[in-house]
Structures are given as structure tokens and as C-alpha cells.
Amino acid sequence: MLVLSAVNTVSCIIFLRETYAPVLLARKAAKLSKETGIPHRPAVYDPTSLPHRIYRAIQRPMRILFLQPIVFIMAVYMALIYGTLYLLFTTFPAVYQGEYGFSIGLSGLTYLGIGLGFILAILFAIPQIDKQYRRLIAKNNGIPMPEYRLPVANVGAVCIPVSLLWYGWSVQSHTYFLVPIIGTLSHKAKLTNQGTIFFGIGTICIFNSVQNFYIDAFTRYAASAIAAGSLFRSLVGACFPLFGGDMYTALGYGWGCTILAACGILLMPMPMLIMKFGRRIRERFPVKLD
């Protein structure tokens, strides 16, 4: 991970261009000051001190998270999925090494199921976000709404509980190892679908749809809205593996995943409800961030 991160960081420094307006304007002002000898102030200028700017950058996501109900609801939903994702990661070694006798190397390959789900969602589901967005705008007489970014999330909302039930009960019943990994329907069925693939598809569908919703709903403060959701789900993601082992030991993989799937089913209507009532909620609970 360190090597990959280093290569990625160096590549970004070399090949990516700066696009942040305050930085570009500050550079332009500095260049003009140097060329003319006359001090120039950037068009986007914040006279406040650095400690105040840091404080504002920290408290703004908190305000969005706790004062805007839609952001909080979707953050809870994403946190559940994120925590479950990391919980599943911690079960793979125990399941495939302990239950099926895989070696450490082979059990590592079982993570490819969720990865394949990510890839399939990126290739086929993510392009639908913009397609459905344009379709709903046309249907609304050309008026865009942030909630129009969420139709694809409804697909992901179905995939999550289905994948958890599939994975949990196939492991619980000690079925052929390709059932939880590849999602075959019987001991001798060939490779068709996959439980964990569905989880990967559902995760990307929901995450990308919600991220696009945040950007459209908080255009000027989109980074703060995304940071609010990221902070909340990261905290939850760190906590889930702490109790996951005890939960599966006490309940088994079937009932343990059923509890998580039940939480997913309870939250399943959230994207659809926000599509219908989101505008009213946003207007009723405005967040002052300046």
C-alpha cells in the first residue's frame, strides 16, 4: 500500500493541474505583484487568520452533519454499509481458512469478489447516474434537483441485504465454497452470480449516488458535506470489526448477517424517500455556513 500510494502521489504531482480557484488567483496576484511592483490582492481573499480558517474547516462538516437531517440520514446509511464492508473483510480469513481449509494466499483471493462487484458497478451502474439525472431534469421541465442523482442508489439498496443474506446463510450451512464467493445456487452449480459481488455493486451504487447528491446540494461547500459523511462512516467502520467477531461467535454467520441485512432493509427506502421529500427537508432545515 505504501508503494502504491507513493507512486500515485508522485503521478498526481507530475500530471495533475491545480484547479482550486483561490490557489490559482493567489498565484496570479503574486505574479502581477512581481511584474508590476504593485501589491495585488487575489479576487478570492480571506483575511482571517490561519487558526480561524482551520477551526472553520473543522466545524463546518460537523454543522452540515448534525443540522441537515438528509446528510445525517444518508451518513448513517453509508456508515452501516461501510462498517459492514470492513466487518466482512475480517470474516474472510476465518471463513475460508477455518471453514474451507484455504491457505493464507488462497483466502486472500476471496476478496476479489467484492472488487469485481466494484468494477461491474463502475462500468455499468455509475454511467446511469448521469443518464437518469438528465432524464429526470427533462421530465421536470429542465429544472435540476440534487435528488435526481439518487435513482441508482435504489438499486444498491436492494443489493446490500440480498448479498448479506446470501453470504451469511451459505457459510452457515457449510455449502460449497463457491456459493458465498461466487454465489452459485447449489453445491454443483457453476459460476453464475455472487453474493459478495452484489455487495460490491450495492456499495458503489449508493456511495457514488450520495456523493453526487452532496455535490449538487452543497455546491459551494460540497467538500465539507463529503467530509461530514466520510468522518461519520470512518468512525463506524473502525468500530464494526471490534464487535463483529463476538457477534458471529454468538449468533453464527447466518443470523449475524441477517441482523445486518435487516438494518439494510430498514434503511432501504431512504434513497426513494429523499427523492420525494428531500427538497422540502433541505428548505426547512437550511444550514448557515458562512
Please check whether residues 29 and 88 belong to one and the same domain.
no
**10 Å Cβ neighbour count for 262?**
13
CB 75 within 8 A of CB 229: yes
Please check whether residues 51 and 86 belong to one and the same domain.
no
Q: In the listed set 60, 76, 107, which residue is the last one of a domain according to the structure?
A: 60
**At how many degrees (to 10) do helices 222-267 and 69-93 cross?**
70
**Higher pLDDT, residue 92 or 8:** 8
Q: How many residues does the chain have?
A: 290
| Domain with 45 in it | 21-60
Please check whether residues 36 and 133 belong to one and the same domain.
no
Please check whether residues 243 and 261 belong to one and the same domain.
yes
CB 25 within 8 A of CB 44: yes
Q: pLDDT (tens digit, 9 = 90+) per residue, 55-106?
A: 888 888 988 998 889 999 999 999 999 999 988 888 888 887 877 777 888 7
pLDDT on residue 266: 94
Tell me whether residue 289 is in a domain.
Answer: no
Please check whether residues 120 and 36 belong to one and the same domain.
no
The domain total for the chain is 2
Q: pLDDT (tens digit, 9 = 90+) per residue, 156-195?
A: 999 999 999 888 888 777 655 555 554 433 332 223 235 6
**At how many degrees (to 10) do helices 151-172 and 222-267 cross?**
50
CB 187 within 8 A of CB 108: no
pTM of the model: 0.81
Please check whether residues 205 and 268 belong to one and the same domain.
yes
Tell me whether residue 136 is in a domain.
Answer: yes
Please check whether residues 75 and 178 belong to one and the same domain.
yes
Distance, CA of 47 to CA of 204 (rounded, Å): 40
Please check whether residues 101 and 132 belong to one and the same domain.
yes
Please check whether residues 161 and 242 belong to one and the same domain.
yes
CB 191 within 8 A of CB 69: no
Please check whether residues 112 and 212 belong to one and the same domain.
yes
Tell me whether residue 183 is in a domain.
Answer: yes
Q: What is the CATH number of the domain that holds 177?
A: 1.20.1250.20
Please check whether residues 216 and 88 belong to one and the same domain.
yes
Tell me whether residue 8 is in a domain.
Answer: no
Please check whether residues 168 and 46 belong to one and the same domain.
no
**At how many degrees (to 10) do helices 151-172 and 195-217 cross?**
150
Tell me whether residue 14 is in a domain.
Answer: no
